[in-house]
A and B are shown apart, each in its own frame.
Chain A
Amino acid sequence: MSATLPRTPRRIGAARRLEPYAYVAPTAALMIVLMLVPIAMVIGYSFLDNVILNKDPEVVGLDNYIEVITDPVFGTAIANTLVFVTASVAAHLLIGLAFAMMLNSRLLGPRVLAAFRGIFILPWLFTAAIVAVLWRMLLSPNGVVNYLLGALGFGDGTTEWLSDPGLALGSVTFINIWSGYPFFMISLLAGLQGIPADLYEAAKVDGAGPIQRFWNVTIPQLKPIIISMALLDFIWTSQQFALIWMTTGGGPIVATEMLSTYTYKLAFAKYEFALASTSAVLILLLSMVLAVLYVRHQRARD
């Protein structure tokens, strides 16, 4: 007979209940230290007067929020970001879908398709710094783009694509579209390849033409991917900083000022870390709307 006393059921029950928490503890600790603490600190900073530079900051309530929201440049930054993001996401989707359908075509041989797949995916392989340097050179007034346009008889070959306040926003949006469409293309191509062929065959038997098959088979089948990708791209593109900063620095004047460059300048040019935190909190709130939409969409799918 064993001399060990059996443990009470209550203690065993408590240990069992705590066990799952212990397993998630490392991840939870990482999330708390790397995400929750910084977010809480930034939110806290947004209610203080100039933190970091000021050794004894005081609570100023909503003053920072009023200052940022009433700054006309902040309004311009919101408008520019909206134009930049909406145009980028729409173009990423259209170009990505067109190229994905081309790569999914049976009209071309496997080698040709492999070659095109390699070429189409190239822009996605470059980091933002390379993309910025590349397009700064291409779009320079003495660059290749102006030379080609001039040689073909379009314009006088002296267009200032990035330096003209009227063209700069369009130019950086174009660069962002160029560098981002392959991600859509790859995801949509995977989606296209997963559509059962019998759906198309059934549609054909029912007398559907190519356009009807596209609208009634392809698009409904890709819809979950399209919505997820569009929401994610919306969030990512609204955070685009490096490309804008390295091509135009938010200029000329404020033509390409985005929420990201606006916040960066507050923090690292003006050293107004409290105002920068305020701007960051406002961006967080705007991003959260999109994040909530994304999560709800994912939940609905599940």
Chain B
Amino acid sequence: MSRSTRGRRTALTAVGAMTAAAAVLMTAGCSADSGDADGDVTIEFAQWWEPELPEGALRSIMDDFEAANPGITVELISGPYASTKEQLFAGAASGTMPDVVGLDGAWVSDFAKQGAIADLTSLMNEQGMDDSKLASQIQIDGATYMIPVVNFVYPLFVNTDLLSEAGIDQVPSTRTEFETAAKAITDLGSGASGWVLPLSLEAPNGIQNDVMSWNWASGGSMLTDSGQPDVTNADVASTVEYVKSLWDDGVIAAGSFTMKEQDKVEEFTNGRVGMMIDSLSHINLIQENNPDLNFDIAAIPAEDGYDGSRGIPYASWGIGVADGSDHQAEALKLVEYLMSADVNSELSTIANAFPGNVDSTPEFGDGKELFEKAFEIYQSGYPANEFTGLPVSEELMRQFDTELQKYLSGDESVDEMLSTVQDSWTAEF
């Protein structure tokens, strides 16, 4: 055989081997078992919490867990909320979800239907976890899929300087008082608006936090008793009509239709709006960015004459276990640990949130007066978020948002708006 023929053959073999290797690498999933020969187990915990907590805080809780549970190592997979969401949806579709997952109530129904997250009711029974101290559990068809670890409430934030400048000496408690205050602030002519309403279609959670919250604050609902859509009821109609009246009064900050939550917080922080409904978790951010801003928080105003208990919107850092996890027992241990009274108190304190364990209490103290006040508001009302656990809840908000934008623009009546939403929601359910 000539040298050139042999060389060519070697090249052919090498090329063939490379092709085979490339194909194998690309087509085979890398499914490494995270257990090792010593019986030590590594569990992955994907969440968006770590970046939102003080640096090292969540890792230190994990270190304590590892010390208390020798043989279990926790690997944190952390990212911002949006990328965590995308990662989890991709993982759910491909069956490669991390063992423990941070969950938003809006995703639970979809993950549960997909079979991506485990039925915690049976898992807790199997592993003997006591669930009597859990403040709430998010269930689908009678089985728990998510446990809220901590809850963030959405009270009304008020710029007290603008309010007193406008001659209003009391934080509004009813819709009429709110409208009067919003008009007075807008009429100051300083360029500040009374209220801010983010309706971006990219992140339509303004429907939950800034629109439907008015309904819940007056004891209203958007669902029937059996959990089906009921957006044509008088309470929802009165809510959107009220928002429209504020819109027509010109008291809502410009740019609503593409405004996002972070824009809303920025407008308030810079003193360009007098009032907003926002997460308590933003208190630190507002104080850091504008230490001179004087603001207060209050319960969301209710309909005039309403004296019942007020629903206050909330968002949770929920937790669940992947259905495909090889280490569900260890994963549940981490869930149990985070839900234990002391750890839950610690986490709620550092996150400026309310605990998911009924025996836990967040620590109040200097600089946490607003936090303490919010806790009172929270305890005097009830947590309300009817979007939690609904199918494609973000899409439901987006459909509501699109129709609300048409209604506010004068393209359709309130009845047309609500019946369109009712039809599209019913189709999704």
Give A residues with C-beta under 8 Å from B. 4, 19, 22-23, 25-26, 29-30, 33-34, 52-53, 55, 136, 140-142, 158, 160, 162-165, 168, 245-254, 265, 268-271, 273
Chain B neighbourhood of A254, CB < 8 A? 402
B15 touches A23 (CB 8 A): yes
- Tell me the complex Cα distance, A25–B191, Å: 66
What are the residues of chain A within 8 A of B110 when measuring CB–CB?
53, 271
Top 10 closest pairs, chain A to chain B, by CB: A249-B202, A141-B254, A252-B257, A251-B201, A163-B257, A249-B201, A25-B19, A141-B255, A269-B395, A162-B258
Asked whether any CB of chain A lies closer than 8 Å to the CB of B310, the reply is no
* B274 smallest CB distance to A (angstroms): 15
A26 to chain B, nearest CB (A): 5
Residue of B16, B191, B402 with most chain A CB atoms under a 10 A cut-off: B402
Pairs A–B under 8 Å by Cβ, sample size 8: A30-B22, A158-B254, A160-B257, A245-B202, A251-B401, A253-B411, A268-B86, A270-B392
A251 touching B86 in the complex, CB below 8 Å, given contacts A23-B15, A269-B395: no
B188 within 8 A of A: no
Find chain B residues with CB under 8 A from A26 CB: 15, 18-19, 22
The number of inter-chain residue pairs (CB within 8 angstroms) is 110
Among residues of A, the one whose C-beta sits closest to the C-beta of B89 is A268
Contacts beyond the supplied A26-B18, A34-B26: 5 A-B pairs with Cβ under 8 Å: A19-B8, A30-B26, A164-B257, A252-B405, A273-B93
A292–B1 Cα gap in the complex (Å)? 47
From B22, B115, B191, B401, A29 is in contact (CB under 8 Å) with B22
Q: Which residues of B contact A251 (CB under 8 A)?
A: 199-202, 257-258, 401-402, 405
Cα–Cα, bound, A23→B15 (Å): 7
Cα–Cα distance between A248 and B263 once the two chains are bound (Å) = 13
**Is B58 an interface residue when CB atoms closer than 8 A count as contact?**
no
Give bound CA distance, A162 to B255, whole Å: 7
Given A253-B402, A269-B394, are A25 and B15 neighbors across the interface (CB < 8 Å)? yes
Query: Smallest Cβ distance from A176 to chain B, in angstroms?
Result: 16
Establish whether residues A22 and B16, one from each chain, have CB atoms under 8 Å apart when the complex forms: yes
Contact partner of A165 (CB less than 8 A), chosen from B89, B113, B267, B409, is B409
Complex Cα distance, B394 from A165, in Å, reads 22
Q: Taking the complex as formed, is B31 at the interface, i.e. its CB lies under 8 A from any CB of chain A? A: no
Neighbouring A residues of B257 by C-beta, 8 Å:
160, 162-165, 251-253
Majority-rule SS of B interface residues: helix
Q: CB within 8 Å of A: which of B9-40?
A: 12, 15-16, 18-19, 22-23, 26-27
Count, chain B residues at interface, CB 8 A: 45
Please determine whether B200 and A249 come into contact, CB atoms closer than 8 angstroms.
Answer: yes
The residue from A52, A136, A270 contacting B93, defined by CB atoms under 8 A apart:
A52
* Complex partner residue of B113 from A23, A53, A141, A163, CB under 8 angstroms: A53
Query: Could you tell me if A160 and B254 are in contact, using CB atoms closer than 8 angstroms?
Result: yes
Q: How far is the CA of A282 from the CA of B13 in the complex (A)?
A: 42
> In the bound complex, what is the Cα–Cα distance between A247 and B202 (angstroms)?
9
Residue of A19, A141, A165 with most partner-chain B CB within 10 A: A141
* Alpha-carbon separation in the docked complex, A164 to B201 (Å): 13
Interface string of B100-126 (1 = CB under 8 A from A): 000000000010011100000000000
Task: Please encode chain B, from 404 to 428, with 1 for each CB lying within 8 Å of some chain A CB and 0 for all others.
Answer: 0110010100000000000000001
Closest Cβ of chain B: how far from A274's Cβ, in Å? 13
Specify which of B201, B398, B401 lies most central, judged by the most chain A CB atoms within 10 Å of its CB: B201
Separation of A252 and B198 alpha carbons in the complex (Å): 12
Q: Does residue B180 face the partner (Cβ distance < 8 Å to A)?
A: no
Bound Cα distance from A254 to B203, whole angstroms: 15
- The interface centre, meaning the residue of A25, A248, A249, A254 with most chain B CB atoms within 10 A of its CB, is A249
**Which residue in chain A gives the minimum CB-CB distance to B114?**
A53
* B residues in contact with A30, CB < 8 Å: 22, 26
